[in-house]
A and B are shown apart, each in its own frame.
Chain A
Amino acid sequence: MSLAATIIEIIAAALLVAGGLFAVIGSLGLLRLKQSMQRLHAPTKATTLGIGSALVAVAVHIWLNEDRLALRELAVALFFFLTAPLSALFLSKAHLFRSEDAAKLPPTGTKAGWATLSEDNPAEPSHPQDRKA
């Protein structure tokens, strides 16, 4: 085996180890943190980083062993990086809506209040012709 292949293999192995450790750290944070909003951080950041590095390492593994580009694994990593912030945003909105007291929240800094909690915010019609009617 050539030197370059050995170096690439060592980098991929380090990525795999880091990915596994980050996954464990994310789950440990989910288990140990005290408040609900704190608990939201651990799985959405640490676990996403862990699975991203593990998937890149798997792509390198396939590239070394089967000599083809593993674009599908990289696409799954991209999918996780795109969807993790979205689910975190919606989970935090659901938590804000269900559990937080509106009087205790900090000011938003604008004229409008918290959009998730505002009463005068009915579901807007998505088409202009519906809005006229």
Chain B
Amino acid sequence: MILGYALSFAIGCFGLALLLNLLRLFTIKNLVDRVLVVDTMAVNVAALVILAAAQSGSALSFEAAVLIAMTGFVSTMAFCKYLLRGSIIE
């Protein structure tokens, strides 16, 4: 009962966090900060998918969250490596 309300509150909080990230993404100029914002958005979307799956009782959404988290991490690392060295795999 109380857990259902807390789940709705957490979904709202992660949605608000995502909106704030979007606002930052549109107002920032630095390239590294943009990568950071997109990385944070990937984390927030993964959390949102898992929370929505817990609320609706769906078992399949978990794989979607794992995929979003892994692509977010790998793309961040690849972009940083590209900025540092000029190539991703040397």
Contact = CB atoms under 8 A, between A and B. Distances in A.
Interface of A: 9-10, 12-14, 16-17, 19-21, 23-24, 26-28, 30-31, 36, 39-40, 43, 47-48, 50-51, 54-55, 57-58, 61-62, 64, 72-73, 76, 79-80, 83-84, 86-87, 90-91, 93-95, 97-99, 116, 123
Interface of B: 1-3, 5-7, 9-14, 16-18, 20-21, 23-24, 30-33, 35-37, 39-40, 43-44, 46-47, 50-51, 54, 62, 65-66, 69-70, 73, 76-77, 80-81, 83-85, 90
Contact of B3 (A13, A19, A87, A90): A13
Looking at chain B's contact residues, the main secondary structure is helix
A47 B32 contact: no
Looking at chain A's contact residues, the main secondary structure is helix
A13 B5 contact: yes
A108 B30 CA distance: 26
A91 B62 contact: no
A30 B40 contact: yes
A27 B62 CA distance: 23
Contacts of B32: 36, 91, 94-95, 98-99
